[in-house]
Amino acid sequence: KRVEQALLAAKDRLSEAQDMAHIGNWALDLLTGELTWSDEIFRMFEIDPEQVGASYEIFLNAIHPDDRDAVNQAYSDSLVNRTPYEISHRLLMNDGRVKWVHEKCTSDFDAAGKPLMSRGMVQDITRIKQTEQALICARDEAERANQAKSEPLSRMRHGLHADESRE
């Protein structure tokens, strides 16, 4: 009974840590087709686990249509090449919002190279992407301001050189 309570407490702490870090984990048994998602993946993808269970189809449908093929290809290639994969991509929410996630996956294979189990993690990196975009916009704006400031100076220098050459 004590071991069971300790396991439940550990599960609760893991769920809390995943919630705080916005990192979820998943496992896919390639022999049975059983896919499990942590609670955080359901929250991240804004899917109610009471309504829908975890499935690769639901996962792919949550991915932004422009990123779907790349994500599917990364996973397929990882199984063929027997290598882990890592990819950042967008999710398209039902209300049109876009979230960014970073995903990693590793798989286990039998002695003949047949894939047995895939395990992965998904982290919500939307805030990081928004910050990157804000920094890019600020840099571009600063470059435009710098260029606008230097254009009159350049014209003045050019005018001075033209005056000197006439003399």
Whether the predicted pLDDT of 19 surpasses 80: no
Residue 122 pLDDT level (bands cut at 50, 70, 90):
very high
Closest CA to 82 of 46, 108, 102, 54: 108
d(CA 65, CA 74): 15
**Chain segment 106-121, per-residue pLDDT in tens:** 999 999 999 999 999 9
Query: How much is the pTM?
Result: 0.75
Specify the 3-state DSSP secondary structure of 87: strand
Distances (CA, A) of 161 to 150, 153, 164, 167: 16, 12, 5, 10
| pLDDT tens by residue, 40-60 | 999 999 999 999 889 989 999
CB 122 within 8 Å of CB 101: yes
* Dihedral sign for Cα atoms in the order 53, 59, 65, 69: negative
- Mean pLDDT, residues 78-99 taken together: 96
Task: Work out the pLDDT band at 38, boundaries 50, 70, 90.
Answer: very high
Predicted pLDDT of residue 153 = 64
Using the predicted structure, report yes or no on whether residue 147 has a pLDDT greater than 90. no
Beta bridge partners of 26: 37, 120
